[in-house]
Structure 1
Amino acid sequence: MLLAAVREKRRRVKLVAIKYKGGKCMICGYRKYAGALDLHHVGRKVFGIGDSGYTRSWDDIRNELRKCVLLCANCHREVEGGITRAPRLRQSREKLWKIR
């Protein structure tokens, strides 16, 4: 039961993070399935959002998200493989999100 609760919380954190980062791949615009969207760290990584999102506050998660760009799985693999360049971070408007 606890594992199901952790899984559900991580899923909700990811959905809010995707929405916060614009909801689509910054390279190709893909937006069909949240499970195919990844957060790519451009700045120095303090923690993996998917790994530790359950125990982090929204402020900590948001600070980490500011160093990430949203990419689809295919574009993310191309960036990691050196085929495609990662987009630069854009300064986005501050959004007030609360995770309960």
Structure 2
Amino acid sequence: MLEDERRRDAIRAAKLYYLDDHNQSWIAGELGVSRATVSRLLQYAREQGLVEIHIKDPLKDEVTLAEKLRDRYHLAAVKIVATGQATGEEKGALVGQAAAS
């Protein structure tokens, strides 16, 4: 029964922290526990697989793409230029600057 309560509190703390974006001090007041307890509940939630954190690293994709291009075309070096929301002219300027460097 005690484990069920801990699990329930961990889920509630995780929802307040990760979904509702409240800080640990606020959650502590809401749950009537210390901030340290909230920290332990969040750690417990991660350890029990109740919370999974995924990081999307766009730089990793660029490195992978550069490696694939280098290997496929036997290139000495590859430079990936991030153009994001740039317009056509801006993209050309960014690529030109990268090529010049």
* Larger CA Rg, structure 1 vs 2: 2
Bigger RCO of structures 1 and 2 (CA < 8 A, at least 6 apart): 1
Which has the larger helix fraction? 2
TM-score range, shorter chain: under 0.3
Which has the larger strand fraction? 1
| TM-score, with structure 1 as normaliser | 0.26
